[in-house]
Amino acid sequence: MPSPDVDPDFVALPRHRLADAALQRARDFGVEHADFRLERLRSQDLRLRDGALEGAHDGEQLGFAVRVIVDGTWGFAASVELSTESAVRTAEEAIRVAQVSAAISSERIELAAEPVYSDVTWVSSYAIDPLSVSVADKVARLAEWSNRLLARGPVAHVSAKLEQVVENKFYSDLAGTTTTQQRVRLHPQLEAHGTDEPTGRFDSMRTIAPPVGRGWEYLDGGYDWDDELAQIPDLLAEKLSVKSVDAGIFDLVIDPSNLWLTIHESIGHATELDRALGYEANYAGTSFATWDQLGTLQYGSPVMQVVGDRTVEHGLATIGYDDEGVQTQSWDIVRDGVLVGYQLDRRMAQLKGLGRSNGCAFADSPGHIPIQRMANVSLQPAEDGPDTDGLIAQVENGLYVIGDRSWSIDMQRFNFQFTGQRFYKIENGRLAGQVRDVAYQATTTDFWGSMEAVGGPQTWELAGAFNCGKAQPGQVAPVSHGCPSALFRSVRILNTQSEAGR
């Protein structure tokens, strides 16, 4: 089924008239570069507690921004008044910002060249706009799912949420590129909470269905919700009653529902070039994967193949053209275990003589300047690799990890630990029931260096998050990470209860 057209209400906005006014005013001042971005973000969040609606929020942001380079210095300004007079004033304000900032600018800003795309349109791959579905129908669906969980076993409480975003962007620049785009994303999640009376333990079990760049069809046959919801009460009951893990060294088979987050923190952030060069240090620090190691850093084992991808279907970071008018692409970041590429915007690409940007500029609202943001950074499967059971069969003493939970990583993206939703003991190539209180700990290069095998394409899945944070003032960005199941040898396992001093 083809995706819907761009929302006619957005198309009807005075996109071209505002852009023409702003860009002409910038041209009058002889700027080196100017771009105009009109953006509308519509969102809706629903939250239920024990099947009853606890909160609902509808939001909309609408405005535009003008970005310029004057004498090698950035200038930026934004407005919510959609008039040609405001567009002219905003362009003038951006120019004044650049002129004032020039006195403290330490290096000249130049942008990598990019072909011109004249009046192009892109719409993400989805069938049903989630905002077109009534709130009553959404609440009814989440309530019915919640009540299924509440009716079973140890489940005492259920929290449910549904986050939805419809994003429209119009971009135009002095070079002649003009793009109009629309993309949709949503994140449904349910979490069952329960207690074990004999031990007094309290714990929870969450769905592992990932957030996706899809529409309402994801909740209506696009995922096997019935199967997952049917399993959760029994999984939670087992988790509450099983023994705590014995700390030590174990082989791990990690499911994509957990491994995506390790990729995000230890590869995704570490290979943003602005971070590796020290231009970015907010939220997540800089990076151990510094520029001087490009082409030589042994990031992981030879089976490690990682790509940056802004084009994969249903990816949260997937878009047709980025917020600098760059057509999005897929490229190698790690090949045969060696660092071979970074994520780039036009400034970073030009700064290091890397040719074109690979399309990683993004602003999370019309009031924010585009910054270099993460692509869908994904670990590739082995073409003829085994299924997950085949990886488990190669382990005599280990753990199988499913679902993400908490994590910690240092400011160089190097020392880390991750937990998960559930952990299964592996004994002689077979699963032997759950254990609890597990965290795996490593350095980035040791961990990826211990990866002995990756699963085949049948194990590959996309997961991700809506809320990757970066910059100051802070911005959030949606991003997915695809990966297969993977086998890691001799990883340090901590007992989280012991580490907490209990």
pLDDT band at 198 (very low <50, low <70, confident <90, very high): confident
Q: How much is the average pLDDT of 473-487?
A: 97
pLDDT at residue 3 tops 90:
no
- Reported as half-sphere exposure (CB side, CA atoms, 13 A), residue 353 has a value of 1
What span, in angstroms and rounded, lies between the C-alpha atoms of 125 and 1?
9
What span, in angstroms and rounded, lies between the C-alpha atoms of 420 and 245?
13
Share of the chain above pLDDT 70, in %: 99
Q: How much is the average pLDDT of 226-236?
A: 97
What span, in angstroms and rounded, lies between the C-alpha atoms of 170 and 10?
9
Q: What's the pLDDT tens digit per position in 209-229?
A: 999 999 999 999 999 999 999
pLDDT at residue 319 tops 70:
yes
At 280, the amino acid letter reads E
Tokens of 500: 């907490």
pLDDT at residue 372 tops 80:
yes
Q: Which H/E stretch holds residue 492?
A: strand 486-495
Inter-residue contact 209 to 175 (CB < 8 Å): no
Give the pLDDT score at 1. 61
Give the pLDDT score at 2. 73
Give the pLDDT score at 500. 79
pLDDT at residue 502 tops 60:
no
State the chain's mean pLDDT as an integer: 97
What span, in angstroms and rounded, lies between the C-alpha atoms of 307 and 209?
23
For the chain, the farthest-separated pair of C-alpha atoms sits apart, in whole angstroms, at: 77
Inter-residue contact 304 to 298 (CB < 8 Å): no
Q: Which H/E stretch holds residue 416?
A: strand 415-418
pLDDT at residue 411 tops 80:
yes
pLDDT band at 237 (very low <50, low <70, confident <90, very high): very high
Taking the whole predicted model, whether its pTM rises above 0.95 is answered as yes
What span, in angstroms and rounded, lies between the C-alpha atoms of 3 and 26?
36
Share of the chain above pLDDT 90, in %: 94
Q: How much is the average pLDDT of 32-52?
A: 98
Lowest mean pLDDT among 79-88, 308-317, 465-474: 465-474
Give the pLDDT score at 72. 97
Q: How much is the average pLDDT of 56-60?
A: 97
pLDDT at residue 381 tops 70:
yes
Give the pLDDT score at 153. 85
Give the pLDDT score at 501. 65
- β-bridge pairing 52-70 and 422-427: unpaired
All structural domains of the chain, each given as residue ranges with its CATH number in brackets, are: 8-241 (3.30.2290.10), 248-499 (no CATH)
Residue 102 is classified by DSSP as G
Q: How much is the average pLDDT of 199-212?
A: 94
Give the residue from 32, 31, 34 showing the smallest Cα distance to 23: 34
pLDDT at residue 429 tops 90:
yes
Give the pLDDT score at 283. 76
What span, in angstroms and rounded, lies between the C-alpha atoms of 191 and 205?
6
CB neighbour class for 43 (10 Å; exposed up to 12, middle 13-18, buried from 19)? middle
More confidently predicted of 4 and 15: 15
Give the pLDDT score at 499. 85
